[in-house]
Structure 1
């Protein structure tokens, strides 16, 4: 794989680089989708460079090739509803309209960092849609799963840890179990 200067390897062969929940989800997904074993790759990075801007600069990655995952929550009738929303790094999640409507809540906001880390079992700066709790909705902006002029067909996402990143074809990300591809999830 020729994306940036990172050494990409099959994720199924390097589960130690992933958060436990992410590793378990990838293993289960690979059992049902053979493309996961070959097309979902991981690369070790300097954890100090995990944030998207630093990552793309240090490893010669196109900013538009990165997908950022944010956890958003809202309440309705005493029930909390949480979603993992994935948008291109060149956009931002439309929390106040689209995500709020999809969750059917009056107000939606980012999950506080301490809760996001504790409940997902992932490190802040490495949160990924792969392996979030089963009751979270996984919402992916349609622009993330469309080929990008600079990054091609690949999307770089978190691994659950700050010390690595995952990359996979956009079409494979769209097939993530439970994922919903949503038009207009992000604002330009």
Structure 2
């Protein structure tokens, strides 16, 4: 199959590659619900040492920057309560953690989660965290620019491989909320 974006040698519908996805991501693809069929989610094989955005773009093409998204885990704290959430923004932007995210979570303070918290909470590898397969109950905040794209390149749960996902599917993820101003330049 030809990848819907980018120039990847190995592109396969994600339901056919459950064996290479982490458990939570494979379960989410297997149990997929929504208006976008699971077969439209495409797994592409990529080199794990090139997983970080800047290096990835060097090897797979700078034109993917405007069609790639990062999924970052954020902690919101208020009193003794901590809320973990995922934020999905285009790779060319950054997450407005101390403004939009903090307010949306009703937190007094918000920050990026530590690597141990992010990987331990998601069951995914650092540098490959994806909004598909996150723990039940986690808010998933999505920038509208992600939803508006025909396809978006995002992590697969591992550093090896990426998922190409129709943008509108992000708005249909469990606990997803499209949030204006989430990604800022």
**TM range, normalised to the smaller chain?**
over 0.9
Contact 1:68 1:158 in 2 (8 A): yes
Give unpaired runs (5+ residues) of structure 2: none
> Matched residues in 1 for 2:165 and 2:182: separation?
20
Map Cα deviations across residues 168-187 of structure 1 (whole Å, 9 max, x no partner).
Answer: 11112222222111111111
Runs of 4+ in 1 over 6 A off after TM superposition: none
Q: TM-score, length-normalised on structure 1?
A: 0.91
Partner residue, 2:18: 15
Deviation at 1:112, TM superposition (A): 0.4
Map Cα deviations across residues 73-99 of structure 1 (whole Å, 9 max, x no partner).
Answer: 022232211110000001000000000
Give unpaired runs (5+ residues) of structure 1: 148-152
Q: TM-score, length-normalised on structure 2?
A: 0.92
**Bigger CA drift: 172-181 or 110-119?**
172-181
**Bigger CA drift: 169-178 or 91-100?**
169-178
What SS class does the counterpart of residue 143 from structure 1 fall into?
Answer: helix
> Matched residues in 2 for 1:172 and 1:122: separation?
20
Contact 1:17 1:44 in 2 (8 A): no
2:114 to 109, 112, 116: 112
The question of 1:155 aligning with 2:152 is answered yes
Partner residue, 2:36: 35
Contact 2:137 2:175 in 1 (8 A): no
Deviation at 1:34, TM superposition (A): 6.6
- The number of residue pairs the alignment matches comes to 181
